[in-house]
Structure formats: C-alpha cells, structure tokens
Chains A and B, each alone.
Chain A
C-alpha cells in the first residue's frame, strides 16, 4: 500500500515540475524534441510543370514563413507518374513513397494537380494513413467526384479556357479557326475534353475546330507552321510526345516558334515560353491558398469541415514580345491587362541614370559657365585696374611735371632768349652797310640749334604728360636716368642741388615702358632733390648710378645726402598717401613701386652709411 502511494506522490510531483517547466519555458528549447508539423507537397510530373511547381511551392512556403507558427517543416517531392501503367508499377511506386516518408510522420499531404491527387487518394492508406489531404490545383469541374468525408479539402481551380478563346476572338478580328494543341498525358486529355465541351457550347458557330491533339511532335510542328489564315492556336498542354515524356516548356517554345498563328494559353507560368497570352490564373495563388488551408488543418480544424476554395479568377496577361510578333496593338487589349516581358526603352530602363547624367552635365556646364564668367569678370576688372593704374601713373607724372613746371619754363626760356638775341643780331647784321652775311648766317645756324634744343625740352615734357597705353620696348636704363636728369636739372639749379651721374654705358636692356620707367627715375630724383634741399649746409648732393646688379638684373641707384629715412618711415614709405613732405600727396613712391613690380623688379630703400637715403630700383634684363 505504501509503495504505490509514494509512487503516486512522486508522479504527481514530477508532473507538477513538468507543468512548471512548461509554464516557464514557453518556447521549446532546441535540445528538447519539438512537436514539429511536417507538410509534404507532392507534384505529379516534372518537365513542363516545373516552373508551375516551383511557383506553387514558393507560394506555399511564403505563407508558412510568414505565419507566426514556427513548427512547420515543408517537404516537396515529385511523384513522376508514368502515363500508361499497370497496377503493379503504381503500387510499387506507392510503396516506395511509403518507405521514403515512413519515418517523417507527415501531418498534411498536399497533392498538386489531377494526377497526383488521384494517386494519393488511391494509395492513401498505404502511403499516409489517416493523414488529412489538402489538394491544390484540382479542376473545379471534377470537385463533385471527391468524397469529402474522407478528411480532404483543398484548392479547386478553374482554368479560363472560354475566356482565353474569347480573348483570341477579340484580339484577332475576323478569326475563323481555333487550332487546339494538346498531348496525350492525363492532364492533356482532360483539358482537351474540357475544351471541346466549352467549344461546342460557346464557339461552335463562329469558329472552326482544328484538332492538333495527340500528334507526334514533328507532325505537330509541321501542322502549326502551315495553318490557314485567321487561325488562333490554343495551346492546352503537352506532357508527352506519343507516350514519351517531354519537357513541356520546351515543347511549347518549339511550337510557338514555328506556328504561323498566335498561340494562347491560360496558365501564367506558361507566359514567356511563346504564348501571346490569355486569361490566366496565378499559380502562386494556388500555393498560397493551399498553405492557408494547411495552417487551418494544423491548428486543429477537420479537413472535411473546411469547404474547398474555388479559384477561377483569371487575369488577362500577355507577352509583349509575342504581341509585337503578331502585330497586336497594345491598345486593343482589355482594360487592366498585364503585359510582361516588355522591352523597356533605353529611356524607361535608364531614366534616372539619364536624368542624373544630364543633370550632372547641366550642373557642370553651369559651373563651367560660371567659372568662365568669373574669369571674364576678373580679367575685366584686372584690365580696369591696369587702366586705373596707368591713369594714376599719368596723373602723378603730370603733377610731377607741374611741380617742375617753373624750372622747366627756364629750360625752354634759355634757348628762346638765345633765339631772340640771335634774331635781333641777324637783322642788324643784314641791315648793315655792307651786311655781314657770314656772321648773320652763323646767327641763323645758332637759332636753328636753339630751336632744336627747345623742341627737345618740349618733347621730354610731352612724353611725361601724354597718356598713351604702355607699349613695352627694350629700354636702356642709363638713358632713362639721363633723360630724367635733364628734366630736373633746371630745378636742381634753382634748388642749388648738385647731381652726380655715374651711368654705366652699354647695359643690357630691360623690357618695359620707357615713359613709366622714366617716371620712376624722375620721382626718385625729385624726392632726392627735395630731401637734400632741406639741408642748411652743403653738400646738397644727389648721386645717380646705374649698373649690373647680380645675375640677370640691373639697377638704378639714387642716393642723397638728406636727412635720411628712419626705420619706421621706411616701412611705410611705399604705402599710398604716406608722405613725409608737407605738400606731398604720398603717391609718388607707391606708384613707382607698382610700376617697378609690374616690370618684374623691386624698389627698395636703405640708409646710406654716412648720410641720407638710397633707393634701389632693380629690374630684370631681357634674356639674351
């Protein structure tokens, strides 16, 4: 008595533990045997149906994958049923499958198609005893033959043969004949008889039936290539070439290739193998619907209590390439038609690439235009600056000449005075008794010489005052210095300034504007003279020197004995509007430096060791 009680208590405790475990581990652990539900999809045949098989299988798998259930394992297999078989062969095939899946303990069987369901039903007790069957793709017209009580349900489909023939009628005006192509397989024969029924019922009067069923492939190909006018080919199905199995997709392609009339079909998986189109049923919907029913069965519903789903919806679908081939206008298609395999134009294919590339090119063009515009603007403003600089230089020259004006007047008055005196003398010499012709002639010679001298002075002034665009030439720096010296010499005399020239003859020329360089020399000289004229005691001396200054350069040095330049002022000396003179504008040196730098040279100031400042204008010589 005692022992069974203990055992009972232990058993109860163990159960409680298990319960607790179950409560606390809602998800089964991997190492624990899980209650896995196995679903087997069985196909009838390989070959033509292969694409259809794949689509159905994928449709079902998608549904299982998306369902919250994680315990479903999907198997797929092919019965590969022979066409003409005896009971013995069928039985051994069934035995083979029974053995194959004996250990798997399949929960639900999904036979696809007419033949597969027939086979499974026939050997059900052997292969999958007591298992519910969810069929897929069974013809809706055969539904009444099924014994629903035997735990069976599924997806019944109705291919839209009538709709497809009607489509051909609509698309081919003046259609008179319908060539019906089919093999001798079970499905082929079933579809043939179905079609014949429909034809007789709806199209007998309008169309002539051309029977292309059960022919050898070579015969069939010959016939379809020589069809009379106004014919449409209705390709039902070919599973075999007179008993030999064929790859159905390839058979359809072959037929379509040689046919001289458009070929219609009603399975969407056939689209792309030579069919122009038809009212098609979507094969992946078969798979999805079947999977949905399987899920209901797995969750406990009795298969017998689930009403079979009937799918007879069809969709007008077309192969664009075939439409082109048969010159069927897309606008003639019924509204809502789906056109596949459309060869999209380059524009359609690469629209965004094209748009992108053009956008890029456009932007780049804009950018380039903008840059060019900027370049132009910059060039223009550089030209403006250059012009302004030239005008400023001119103004500065004019003002320099203005400052020197009185003394320049002296320069001109000197020869004029000589001319007046000579003219008066000549007049008297000629009026004399006898006239002194020799002396008069000499006087006239002197007049001419003095006239030239005055002209020369005027030329120099005009050179400085004129405002012509700079014309770069080869310039002799020593000559420039000598000319500048001549311009200021009267001023120098007035200011009691001595100018000492030390000009090296035969210097290599510099490339530049003679007038501008002369302006620099003049400015340096005028500054130096101004500086030394402040001296209360001699020497009031300005030294002007030219000579070579290192490799490829020559210099003009203007040195004075003035007060010199202090370090602070030296730094600011070349700034515009900086001046140490009470009446200076402060532009002379600034302009001079601009000119020298525009000539590729430099203008610097240094202090003399003894007294005063020394300016050095250094210029590159013309390369030999």
Chain B
C-alpha cells in the first residue's frame, strides 16, 4: 500500500539540531529515519543497509565529508541513492556530487516538502534499482541452468542466425539445434525470440557479473 514500505532513510549530519529536525520531519512523513552524526559513524554502524532507501548527507562535516562518504560507498558497492544537503554550496562541489550520481543537491535552508519530495524520488529510484537488480539476478540463475551447448545456441540465436546456420557453425544437425533451442526458450522462460534477445541484453549489462559475460564468449 505504501510505496515507501520497507524503505529506510539514513541521515548523516554533524549538526544535532538539524538531525533532530530531519528525523522529526521524515518520521512525520512516514519515512523511518536513522541518524548519524558523522560519516565514520555511518560506516561503522550502518552495515545493515536495506535494498530500498536513501541517504541524506551533509557535505560539510568534520572528518570525512559527504562527498568523501559518497566515494567510499561507491567503492564498497553500496548503491543507495544520495541526497546532499549543504549550508554552503559551491559549483564544483555540486557538479562533483551530481556526476557521482547524487539524486539532488539541496542548499540549506530548504523547504521541508522539497526535501520530502526529493527523498521520495530517491526511494523510488532505489526501488527501481532494486527491482532491476532482482531481475538480473533471476536471469542469471536461469542462464546458469543452461548447458554449455545450450549457451552456445543461445548466443548464436540472439546473434540472429538461422537454425541451419547454427547447425553449420556448431557442426551438428539442424534437428538437434531445434531441440537445444526449444530447451533454451523453456529454461529462460522466454515466450518469444524478441524476449530472449532482451534477456540476453540484460545479462550483458554491467549489472551482470563479468564471469557470466566472459563465459558467453
């Protein structure tokens, strides 16, 4: 019912009154929030990050800054969308943040509703990302279930070769190709060639593990 269900918002800001105010605002808007006073604290305690949610980061903090934390999280493969808030924004700072994939860059003092809207947008993106990741994982499992021959047949089918051509390529009879092809369609749960092609493309996305890609070659 609630699109934010299961989503969690992490706030990292060194200013206690800003922490309190944001927690209150988020809670009031039905967004469960966890508040940290520094990037270091977040890295130490925020290990159990859910799939869906977002990060609200203050840029200027003692120790690691918001931008530093963004880089660190990227390195750790943590993909929660980030909303930056700052008391003092500079153009280079905001450009860097946005380039690194921040959802938005809000300057204090900001409108409460704007922040909420931005956070919702971030959560939605998070959810999409989570869904995409989920689908990718599913396809990978299906792909894993294919035999080596079936994977070869899949690669050539997606390449657009006819069964006859595939048989020639693989040095097998056409009839055998047809059997493999039917199995591939079955295992990948693809209803049509078009869907199969899309699945193959999804598997080639960077989201998919490189081992899978290389095994395709």
Contact among A407, A417, A498 for B109, CB-based, below 8 A = A417
CA distance A411 to B60 in the complex (A): 11
Q: Judge whether A425 is part of the interface by a CB distance below 8 angstroms.
A: yes
Contact among B24, B88, B112 for A439, CB-based, below 8 A = B24
Most buried by A among B24, B29, B62, B115: B24
Q: Judge whether A428 is part of the interface by a CB distance below 8 angstroms.
A: yes
Most buried by A among B21, B60, B115: B21
- The residues of B that contact A449 with a CB separation of less than 8 Å are 17
List residues of B (57-102) whose CB comes within 8 Å of A's CBs.
Answer: 60-62, 85-88
Instruction: Please state if A446 and B15 are interface contacts (CB–CB under 8 Å).
Output: no
Q: Mark A412-441, 1 if CB is under 8 A from B, else 0.
A: 011111111111110011001000100100
Instruction: Please state if B17 and A425 are interface contacts (CB–CB under 8 Å).
Output: no
Q: Judge whether B113 is part of the interface by a CB distance below 8 angstroms.
A: yes
Contact among B17, B22, B25, B28 for A450, CB-based, below 8 A = B17
Q: Mark A485-506, 1 if CB is under 8 A from B, else 0.
A: 0000010011000100000000
A150, chain B: closest CB distance, angstroms: 143
Instruction: Please state if B111 and A417 are interface contacts (CB–CB under 8 Å).
Output: no
Instruction: Please state if A424 and B88 are interface contacts (CB–CB under 8 Å).
Output: no
A350, chain B: closest CB distance, angstroms: 88
A74, chain B: closest CB distance, angstroms: 122
Number of A interface residues at 8 Å Cβ cutoff, please give it. 33
Q: Judge whether A409 is part of the interface by a CB distance below 8 angstroms.
A: yes
Instruction: Please state if A417 and B88 are interface contacts (CB–CB under 8 Å).
Output: no
Instruction: Please state if A424 and B113 are interface contacts (CB–CB under 8 Å).
Output: yes
CA distance A450 to B17 in the complex (A): 7
Instruction: Please state if A424 and B112 are interface contacts (CB–CB under 8 Å).
Output: yes
- The residues of A that contact B109 with a CB separation of less than 8 Å are 413, 416-417, 419-420
Q: Judge whether A122 is part of the interface by a CB distance below 8 angstroms.
A: no
CA distance A494 to B67 in the complex (A): 13
Which residue of B is nearest A492, CB measured?
A: B62
- The residues of B that contact A415 with a CB separation of less than 8 Å are 17
- Take A417-B108, A421-B112, A424-B113 as given contacts and tell me if A407 and B24 are in contact as well, using a CB distance cutoff of 8 Å: no
Instruction: Please state if A446 and B111 are interface contacts (CB–CB under 8 Å).
Output: no
Instruction: Please state if B60 and A493 are interface contacts (CB–CB under 8 Å).
Output: yes
- Take A410-B60, A413-B88 as given contacts and tell me if A418 and B17 are in contact as well, using a CB distance cutoff of 8 Å: yes
- The residues of A that contact B62 with a CB separation of less than 8 Å are 493, 498
Instruction: Please state if B28 and A425 are interface contacts (CB–CB under 8 Å).
Output: yes
CA distance A406 to B61 in the complex (A): 15
Number of B interface residues at 8 Å Cβ cutoff, please give it. 26
CA distance A418 to B17 in the complex (A): 6
Contact among A406, A407, A425 for B25, CB-based, below 8 A = A425
- The residues of A that contact B112 with a CB separation of less than 8 Å are 420-421, 423-425
- Take A413-B108, A417-B109, A493-B60 as given contacts and tell me if A424 and B87 are in contact as well, using a CB distance cutoff of 8 Å: no
Q: Mark A382-424, 1 if CB is under 8 A from B, else 0.
A: 0000000000000000000000001101110111111111111
Instruction: Please state if A429 and B28 are interface contacts (CB–CB under 8 Å).
Output: yes
Q: How many A-B residue pairs have CB under 8 A?
A: 91
Instruction: Please state if A494 and B17 are interface contacts (CB–CB under 8 Å).
Output: no
Q: Judge whether A443 is part of the interface by a CB distance below 8 angstroms.
A: yes
CA distance A416 to B17 in the complex (A): 10
Instruction: Please state if A422 and B88 are interface contacts (CB–CB under 8 Å).
Output: no
Q: Judge whether B110 is part of the interface by a CB distance below 8 angstroms.
A: yes
CA distance A585 to B59 in the complex (A): 31
CA distance A425 to B113 in the complex (A): 9
Instruction: Please state if B88 and A494 are interface contacts (CB–CB under 8 Å).
Output: yes
Which residue of B is nearest A405, CB measured?
A: B88
Instruction: Please state if B28 and A417 are interface contacts (CB–CB under 8 Å).
Output: no
CA distance A429 to B61 in the complex (A): 30
Q: Judge whether B142 is part of the interface by a CB distance below 8 angstroms.
A: no
Q: Judge whether B212 is part of the interface by a CB distance below 8 angstroms.
A: no
Contact among B29, B86, B110 for A428, CB-based, below 8 A = B29
CA distance A417 to B86 in the complex (A): 9
B215, chain A: closest CB distance, angstroms: 46
Q: Judge whether A545 is part of the interface by a CB distance below 8 angstroms.
A: no
Instruction: Please state if B24 and A414 are interface contacts (CB–CB under 8 Å).
Output: no
CA distance A414 to B108 in the complex (A): 7
B93, chain A: closest CB distance, angstroms: 10
- The residues of B that contact A453 with a CB separation of less than 8 Å are 17
Instruction: Please state if A422 and B87 are interface contacts (CB–CB under 8 Å).
Output: no
Instruction: Please state if B60 and A418 are interface contacts (CB–CB under 8 Å).
Output: no
Contact among A417, A422, A432 for B24, CB-based, below 8 A = A422
Instruction: Please state if B60 and A417 are interface contacts (CB–CB under 8 Å).
Output: no
Q: Judge whether B148 is part of the interface by a CB distance below 8 angstroms.
A: no
- Take A414-B108, A416-B109 as given contacts and tell me if A409 and B88 are in contact as well, using a CB distance cutoff of 8 Å: yes
| A interface with B by C-beta (< 8 Å) | 406-407, 409-411, 413-425, 428-429, 432, 436, 439, 442-443, 446, 449-450, 453, 490, 493-494, 498
12 contacts between A and B (CB under 8 A): A413-B87, A413-B88, A414-B108, A416-B109, A417-B87, A418-B15, A424-B111, A428-B29, A432-B28, A439-B28, A446-B21, A493-B61
Given contacts A421-B24, A493-B61, 19 further A-B contacts (CB under 8 A): A409-B87, A410-B60, A411-B87, A413-B88, A413-B107, A414-B15, A414-B17, A417-B18, A417-B21, A418-B15, A419-B109, A420-B111, A421-B22, A421-B25, A423-B112, A425-B24, A449-B17, A490-B87, A498-B62
